[in-house]
C-alpha cells in the first residue's frame, strides 16, 4: 500500500462474518468494485478508492499505523487490539466515524453447565480459554478476580471438555454454539457491532472529500434499513 497515494484505502474483512455486509454497505454508498476472490486489493471503478481485504484482526493496527485510511471492523477486535497495543506502547489511536448496523455480538464468559456458578468471584484462580486476553483481563482486574488466561486462537468452546480450561470467554450471538458444547453464558463482558474507523492523522483534501460524501450516504443507507 502506497501511503502517499491519493486513493482512499479501506480495509475490510476478506472472508468472514463482516465481509458481505461491509461490501454491500460500500456498494450501497455508490462505490463500484469487482472483487476477485484471490486478490488482496480491489480498485473501485468509479471512485479513487481501493479496498484492502485482510483478516479482521489486522484491520485496527493498519488504521492505527495509518497504512490504510479507513477500516470496517468489530468493536470487539478494535478494543482488544487497542488494549494490546497500548500495553506494548504501539500507536493505538483511531477516529470512530460511525457505528454500523451489522456484526452484532457479545463477548461472554461461559462455564460448563454442571458447574455451580454464584458470581464472578467463582472464577478466581481458574483458567479461562479465550482469543480476547486483553478484554478479559481488563474485565477481571476491574472486579478483583485473578483468573489465568488460556489463550487459544480457535476452538475456544471445546477447551473445557478437552481439559484445557475451566471456563471460556468467547463471542456469542445466539448461544447455540455454547449450548452445543455444554456451556452456559454467565457474564457479558463486552457488547459489539461493526464500526467504521479512520486513521488518526488528517487526510488530504481529496481523501477527506470522499469521506465527507460517504458518511451521509452511510447514514442514509442505515436509516432506510431501520
Ligand atoms: P478472520 O479470518 O478475518 O480473522 P474470524 O474468524 O476472526 O475471521 P469471524 O468469525 O468472521 O472472524 O467474525 C468476524 C467478526 O464478526 C467478529 O469479530 C465480530 O465482531 C463479528 N461477529 C458477529 N456475529 C458473530 C458471531 N455470532 N460469532 C462471532 N463473531 C461475530
Ligand atoms: Zn479474526
Kindly indicate the confidence band of residue 1, based on its pLDDT and cuts at 50, 70 and 90: low
Cell of 175: 448461544
**CB of 153 closer than 8 Å to CB of 133:** no
Please tell me if the CB atom of residue 56 comes closer than 6 angstroms to any atom of ligand 1: yes
Please tell me if the CB atom of residue 131 comes closer than 6 angstroms to any atom of ligand 1: no
Domain 105-191 has CATH 3.40.190.10: yes
- Distance CA(149)–CA(134), nearest Å, equals 9
Mutate to test the pocket of ligand 1, among 11, 16, 19, 168 (most ligand atoms within 8 A of CB): 16
Alpha-carbon Rg for the chain, nearest whole angstrom, is 19
CATH 3.40.190.10 domain position(s) in the chain:
8-103+193-225, 105-191
pLDDT score for 226:
84
**CB of 137 closer than 8 Å to CB of 158:** no
Q: How far is CA 39 from CA 48, 130, 148, 189, in A?
A: 18, 31, 40, 36
pLDDT score for 94:
98
The enclosing H or E element of 107 equals strand 105-112
- Distance CA(56)–CA(17), nearest Å, equals 10
- Distance CA(24)–CA(13), nearest Å, equals 13
Candidate CATH numbers 3.40.190.10, 3.40.50.300, 3.40.630.10, 1.10.3720.10; the one for domain 8-103+193-225:
3.40.190.10
pLDDT score for 3:
57
pLDDT score for 2:
58
- Distance CA(184)–CA(128), nearest Å, equals 14
Residue 87 burial (C-beta neighbours within 10 Å; 0-12, 13-18, 19+): exposed
Mutate to test the pocket of ligand 1, among 80, 171, 180, 181 (most ligand atoms within 8 A of CB): 171
- Distance CA(30)–CA(215), nearest Å, equals 12
Closest by CA position to 185, among listed 88, 92, 111:
111
Average pLDDT over residues 12-41: 94
Kindly indicate the confidence band of residue 87, based on its pLDDT and cuts at 50, 70 and 90: very high
pLDDT score for 34:
85
Q: Which value does ipTM take for this structure?
A: 0.96
Amino acid at each position: 500500500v502506497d501511503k502517499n497515494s491519493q486513493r482512499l484505502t479501506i480495509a475490510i474483512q476478506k472472508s468472514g462474518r463482516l465481509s458481505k455486509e461491509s461490501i454491500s454497505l460500500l456498494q450501497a454508498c455508490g462505490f463500484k468494485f469487482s472483487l476477485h476472490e484471490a486478490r488482496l486489493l480491489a480498485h473501485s471503478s468509479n471512485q479513487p478508492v481501493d479496498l484492502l481485504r485482510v483478516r479482521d484482526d489486522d484491520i485496527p493496527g493498519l488504521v492505527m499505523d495509518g497504512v490504510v485510511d479507513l477500516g470496517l471492523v468489530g468493536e470487539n477486535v478494535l478494543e482488544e487490539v487497542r488494549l494490546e497495543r497500548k500495553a506494548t506502547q504501539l500507536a493505538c489511536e483511531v477516529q470512530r466515524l460511525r457505528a454500523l448496523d451489522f456484526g452484532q455480538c457479545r463477548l461472554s464468559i461461559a462455564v460448563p453447565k454442571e458447574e455451580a456458578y454464584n458470581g464472578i468471584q467463582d472464577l478466581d484462580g481458574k483458567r479461562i480459554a479465550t482469543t480476547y486476553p486483553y478484554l478479559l483481563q481488563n474485565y477481571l482486574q476491574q472486579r478483583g478476580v485473578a483468573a489465568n488466561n488460556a489463550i487459544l486462537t480457535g476452538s475456544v468452546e471445546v477447551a473445557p471438555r478437552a481439559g484445557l480450561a475451566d471456563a471460556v470467554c468467547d463471542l456469542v450471538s445466539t448461544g447455540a454454539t455454547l449450548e452445543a458444547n455444554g456451556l452456559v453464558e454467565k457474564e457479558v463482558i463486552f457488547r459489539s457491532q461493526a464500526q467504521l474507523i479512520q486513521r488518526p492523522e488528517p487526510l488530504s483534501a481529496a481523501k477527506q472529500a470522499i469521506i465527507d460524501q460517504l458518511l451521509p450516504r452511510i447514514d442514509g443507507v442505515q436509516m432506510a434499513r431501520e
